[in-house]
Structure 1
Amino acid sequence: MQVDHHDLHSEFPEMADAIDALKSGNAHFAKLFATYHRLTGRVEDLEENDMPVADFTIEDMKKQRVKLKDELYHILLAYRAGQQAAK
């Protein structure tokens, strides 16, 4: 089965520097990033290995991932806005 990879750097390649800066400098972002990364890995493993799992379970995991990605994205936007304002 072809699996799309959803790591944050692939999702937002234009924000790679901000992701790296926030991972090391913002504990809240780092915690969310780690949770997103673990959840993404679990979903991709289930899909890649065609493991038996209830549809609602994987859908729930994907919904959690989308929620985390949205929160991470908003933190990234705020960080970049702050960087622009500082210039």
Structure 2
Amino acid sequence: MSLEKHDLIHEMPESKEAIHNLKTSDNHFAKMFDEYHDVDHAVHRIETGAENTSDDHLENLKKQRLNLKDQLTAMVREYEGAAAS
């Protein structure tokens, strides 16, 4: 079991500038970014034993985190593609 936090900057260090720009200019991205951070923090607290929950709840949080990450990653890639053209 990985006890590593999965913050988006750590997951996508090459896109740090794009993430920052999107957080400051796109309210939808900023809201999803904050939600991703909250879910990641909750997963990390459960995995480190700071909080207890059912396995089903933990799995649902991980699925939610992955879904948010996929959406955020797509938004970052689209932003970077637009910036490159």
Query: TM exceeds 0.5?
Result: yes
User: Runs ≥4 in structure 1, deviation > 3 angstroms?
Assistant: none
- Tell me the C-alpha RMSD between the 2 structures: 1.4
Matched, 1:37 2:37: yes
**Structure with larger Rg:** 1
Structure 2: which 5+ residue stretches go unaligned? none
- How high is the TM-score relative to the length of structure 1? 0.92
Structure 1: which 5+ residue stretches go unaligned? none
| Matching of residues 1-87 of structure 1 within 5 Å | 3-49=3-49, 51-85=51-85
Q: % of aligned pairs identical?
A: 36
Matched AA of 1:84: A
Matched AA of 2:15: M
Describe the SS at the equivalent of 2:16. Answer: helix
Matched pairs, number: 85
Flag the 1:51–1:22 CA change in 2: closer, same or farther, 3 A: same
